[in-house]
Structure 1
Amino acid sequence: MMPARPGMAAVLAIAAVVGLTVMAGIRGLRLARSTSDFFVASRTVRPWWNAAAIGGEYLAAASFLGVAGLFAGGDDQALWLVIGYTGGYLVLLLFIAAPLRRSNGYTLSDFAQVRFDSMAARRAVSVVVVIVCGAYIVPQLHGAGLVATTVLGAPRWAGPVLVATVVGLTVASGGMRSITLVQGMQYLIKVASLLVPLAFIVATLAARGFTPARVPTPPAELSTRSPYGTVSLLISLLLGAAALPHVLLRLATSPDGRSAQRTVVIATALVGTFYAIPFAYGAIGRWAVPQVVADGGADSLVLVLPYFVGGPFREVLVAMVAAGAFGAFIATSSGLVITMAGVVSQDLFGSDVRRFRLSALYATGLPLVLALVTASQSITDTVGYVFAFSASTLFPVLVLGIWWRGATAAAAVSGITVGAGLVAGAAVAYYVLGRPVGALGDLLAHPAAVTVPLVFTVVVVVSRLKPVGVRAAEQFIHQIHRPDDVETRLAVPVRTQR
């Protein structure tokens, strides 16, 4: 592994990313005045920048660090992760993006309340959003701790504390105005921070006469996952990505439904392009530094590869990668915190700016505490359960709520309860039983193939048993599927509750 000692280049690079984030927060503070500014940037974010912001917040620790390590270790999960992470945007484009934007809600909770005319449905969705966002923030903070120890030689707690502090202050200062600037900027930083070191690594290897023929042959058996495990993993990634609350919140910042669709199309291209880079790191890492993966350092491969292969500029290259990693943690955590803050503010404290800022600090502090008191699991494992949870709770309710007038509030609450309980139970059982292998291990590690169809069935059956509020739902569904020029004259009011 790379020597754990602080380098001035790494310190300066991370300080630069933090400084740029703080400056964006200050600019957002000057621009943000109204509640709409803080929640949805007054719905004025254009598709290209909104797509870059989605790329900034979506390409998180699992994408920046985990994918390369998995590929270097010969695990075909890396391929399925990329397909699922990117393909989920096609599902989002086809079934959710434009109708959800036309519902005119600030949050998913607003959509649930207006669609089902139910505070119970609103609360159920709010609880799930808080769980998904909170659980997703924790691996980002663990990733920051990994960078702090690997690159800077700092205590592991230093990374999470730094990221949480920057994110909390940025979100509280300017809300969505601030983080839109931060996330779009961080996407560009992430791409540059990986591409430039990769170019130097390739050039250095070429100068040394390094060729794949002279390195160990990759393992013949790339995966021990069963067909069920592969299919279930893809289901959780495709459907979970389409229902991630912080990505859906970005669509609410679009001017209209058509802009939301364009945003998703562009974001799909940006995300798919990015994933070619960690695959290149994984391929080179498998050939050049197989000892890193063999020693259990797969998640740190992207950080240490420039050190081993980067030649005379290795310290600078490591610093660039570390800065990009911190950018990933900050951008993703910002989107998650503002999503949590919006829900907590509306449902517990109120929808004014002061209460939103207070909620942002709560939404940052709780995940920080959890990250500091829990051990870091594999980043991809942790994020995998988040996607399965989202796919088994929010996705069925969103799709049926948007496309089927017969879905009822009681059915939505029942489906969310069943999905949440099953996925959470599977995750707990998987770790309590010591990561079992075989059919049981596949079922517990990848429950989505069972839980998602079951939740759809629960929602349909309960809706049929007591079809209440169908006429009002029909009018709402008709509105959110109208063209944008008609939708502006038939806007659905957003009702928020203290």
Structure 2
Amino acid sequence: MVAAFAVAPVVLVTLLIGLRGVAAMRTTSDFLVASRRVSPLLNSAAVSGEYLSAASFLGVAGLMVKDGVGALWYPVGFTAGYIAMLVLVAAPMRRSGALTVPDFAEARLASPALRRLAAVVVLVIGTLYLVPQFRTAGLVLTAVGGTPYWVGVVIAGAAVSITLALGGMRAATYVQAFQFVLKLVLFLVPAIWLVLQVGADDRYAAVHPVEFTHFARETPVSFEIDVTLEIREPTTVRTDDGGTKLLPPGEMTAKSGQRLVFAEGAPVPEVRGGAPLGGADWQRPLLDLDGAGYPLLGTWAVLIATMLGTMGLPHVLMRFHTSPDGRAARRTAAITVSLLGVFYLFPGVYGVLGRVLVPELYLSGATDTVVVALPSQVDNGWAGSLFTALLTAGAFAAFLATSLGLLLVVSGAIAHDLMPGGLRRLRATVLFAAVAMVLLALPAARLDAGLLVTWGFTVAASTFCPLLVLGIWWGRLTAAGAISGVLAGLLSSSGSIAFALFGPRVGGWVGLLISQPAPWTVPLAFGVMLVVSLRGRPPSWSTAAMLRLHLDEQPEQFPSSPSAHRSSAVRRIGRRLNR
């Protein structure tokens, strides 16, 4: 009942706003960039709504419960990425006249091969980022309403695909702007209520953490995913059938769907890869990822991935193409930094309260649900149910807003860059891509949403970040250098991620750099791009192309590449040169 009350209005409003974009959508430009008429304030709200995904609304607090205070470096990297984007990318990207990132790549270097490669990168990033949105939607509805996991996944996929197919980018803009305001209110108000509602002892425990070693009360733990527990001393637990079971010291894998009841005073097992709740490692303001023992390296790995990856996220970059001009794009980025800064003041509140009030989520592997689990722990009456519903609605708004942008760029990569077609093909591709992502999300419940999203940032940082920075600020970049660098970044980052998923477990700093490869894949991509470009010669029109990116817009005056491929931006540039 709570789940239906929370989710139905959000889905209904999303669909109704999607209908608003139908009448205004007649061309590919209308579908992909809303005819470039979105104001900076509306656009910044839409960017913020799109960017505040499941990883932000739920994931940061969940990572804080799992990994400790150091998880607050994630929002630092997210927000810092927009500052870098403001300085280096926003205005030049809009001045390029492109519709998509692959469109920009071909417009800058006149290489259809680079365009196709960039489209493949968009698909990889979109998949890594979109699957955890649908996955967390399924988990949240399961935790709040007891529905099967697949129900939330299918609802999210259906709502997003129908909205986009109907209204394109214009509908997505209004939906995301509305949902940012909704998420901000539904995140801040419950946080303030929780702080006021919990007792003085809980508030003290939240800001003065002590290691969680023994259960303070009888605690049932329902495992949402497979979790490896490290039992330090013999522990007796009660099982679902009412019997008891002795857990001997050593490692034990709790299977998804299993439920164990720990008695009051029973020792708390450790979770492999997580920091003990409230202990010295948990309190340290650095990230010791997977217990590798290299917190400083882990922190830098996350910061490099999130900050540089933000500059390369295709669904965020496409937002700047909706601005009327470069100055509006820069203002959009500046306002976005302020909006995100306000939101990211509050995930830490949920994280420290979650450690005190719902420590069992640390064991069950369901830390992503800590935000929606807190109100019922504070108040089991109507107030707790109301705030649970509000947070569930906000979480679902986060899934939908981010998924809209991601599904749009994935569809654009297929139907505009790889297999170009008209508006009808774009709409059909939206539905096809949504089905594919839902099918990928169904078996992904056991994967960590924060880890998947970080991997998406890593691929973006290793491919599009060097392409954009050098393509915008270095006139000697060549098509061969760009292709080589993007390919090196894509293969190294995705290969490392595949090894982390399917290969043998590797410990120490080597294992850390396999699971979080940004510290070496980003320099590799930049280096390859620079070396290969220096061995070649830039095209004769590269200086004119650079001027177009950096001078204020004066239509019909700045020529660039003489090529005229299917890219709308390149065709326009070619026509200007021939006048």
TM bucket normalised to smaller = over 0.9
- Shift of the 112–289 alpha-carbon distance from structure 1 to 2, 3 Å rule, reads same
233-242 or 29-38, which deviates more: 29-38
Match of 1:377 in 2: 447
Instruction: Work out whether residues 415 and 426 of structure 2, in 8 Å CA contact, stay in contact via their aligned partners in 1.
Output: yes
State the Cα distance separating 1:298 from its structure 2 match: 1.3
Q: Deviations over 1:59-112 (max 9, x none)?
A: 111111111122234524412101101100011111111001100000011111
Match for 2:279 among 211, 214, 219?
A: 219
Q: Structure 2 CA distance, aligned partners of 1:74 and 1:232?
A: 15
Q: Could you tell me which of 455, 459, 471 is aligned with 2:525?
A: 455
Q: Which residue in 2 is equivalent to 1:446?
A: 516
Q: Is the 8 A contact 1:10 1:316 kept in 2?
A: no
CA apart distance, 1:304: 0.4
Which of 558, 564, 570 in structure 2 is aligned with 1:490?
558
User: Separation in 2 of the partners of 1:105 and 1:141?
Assistant: 29
What secondary structure is seen at the aligned counterpart in 2 of 1:373? coil
Q: Which has the higher mean CA deviation after the structures are superposed, 106-115 or 287-296?
A: 287-296
- Contact between 2:461 and 2:518, CA under 8 Å: does it hold in 1? yes
Q: CA offset at residue 201 of structure 1?
A: 1.6
Question: Which residue of 2 is the match for residue 251 of structure 1?
Answer: 320
Question: Counterparts in 2 of 1:4-15, with a 5 A limit?
Answer: 8-15=1-8
1:194 aligns with 2:187: yes
Other structure's SS at 2:149 match: coil
Task: Tell me the TM-score normalised to structure 2 length.
Answer: 0.81
2:395 counterpart of 1:328: no
Taking the TM superposition and a 5 Å limit, the aligned residue runs for 1:152-167 are 152-167=145-160
- Does the 8 Å contact 1:135/1:367 carry over to 2? no
The answer as to 2:516 corresponding to 1:430 is no
Residue 216 of structure 1: how far off its partner (Å): 5.0
Deviation per CA, 1:394-420: give whole Å up to 9, x if none. 110111111111111111111111111
Which amino acid letter does the alignment assign opposite residue 111 of structure 2?
S
- 8 A Cα contact 1:341 1:359, kept in partner: yes
Report if the CA contact (8 A) 1:350-1:497 is conserved.
no
Shift of 1:47: 0.7
Matches for 1:10-409 after TM superposition, within 5 Å: 10-206=3-199, 210-213=202-205, 216-217=209-210, 218-222=278-282, 223=288, 224-312=293-381, 313-409=383-479
> How far apart, CA to CA, are the structure 2 residues paired with 1:413 and 1:441?
28
Counterpart Cα distance in 2 of 1:374 and 1:203: 37
How large is the Cα RMSD of the aligned pairs? Answer: 2.0
Is the CA contact 2:372–2:391 (under 8 Å) kept in the aligned structure 1?
yes
Query: How many residue pairs align between the two structures?
Result: 488
Deviation at 1:30, TM superposition (A): 2.3
Q: CA deviation at 1:495?
A: 4.9
Structure 2 counterpart SS, 1:31: coil
Structure 1: runs of 5 or more not aligned: 1-7
Q: CA deviation at 1:315?
A: 1.1
Distance 1:185 1:121, change over 3 A: same
Structure 1 residues 242-298: Cα deviation after superposition (integer angstroms, max 9, x where no partner) = 110000000000000000000001111111211112111112212333233244331
Whole-Å separation in 2 of the counterparts to 1:307 and 1:152: 13
| Paired position in structure 1 for 2:271 | none
* Secondary structure in structure 1 of the residue aligned to 2:344: helix
Match for residue 534 of structure 2 among 464, 472, 476: 464
Is the partner of 1:147 in helix, strand or coil?
Answer: helix
Cα 1:287–1:373 shift into 2, 3 Å: closer
CA–CA distance in 1 between the matches of 2:388 and 2:462? 39
Greater Rg over alpha carbons, structure: 2
Seq. identity, %: 41
Q: Tell whether the 8 Å contact from 2:38 to 2:322 is kept in structure 1 after alignment.
A: yes
**CA distance, structure 1, for counterparts of residue 560 and residue 480 of structure 2:** 22
Structure-2 change in CA distance of 1:431 and 1:33 (3 Å): closer
Unaligned runs of 5+ in 2: 211-277, 283-287, 569-579
The change in CA–CA distance for 1:492 and 1:301 in structure 2 (over 3 A counts) is: farther
Q: Which moved more, 1:268-277 or 1:72-81?
A: 72-81
Aligned counterparts of 1:373 and 1:209: Cα–Cα separation in 2? 41
Aligned twin of 1:4: none
Deviation at 1:52, TM superposition (A): 0.7
What letter corresponds to residue 558 of structure 2 in structure 1?
L
Tell me by how many angstroms 1:376 deviates.
3.2
Contact 1:104 1:492 in 2 (8 A): no
What is the DSSP-based 3-state SS (H/G/I as helix, E as strand, rest coil) of the residue aligned with 1:157?
helix
Specify which structure has the higher proportion of strand. Answer: 2
How far residue 225 of structure 1 moved from its aligned partner, in angstroms, is 3.6
Which string of whole-angstrom CA distances, capped at 9 and with x for unpartnered residues, describes residues 417-469 of structure 1?
A: 11111111211222334543311111112211111111111011111112141
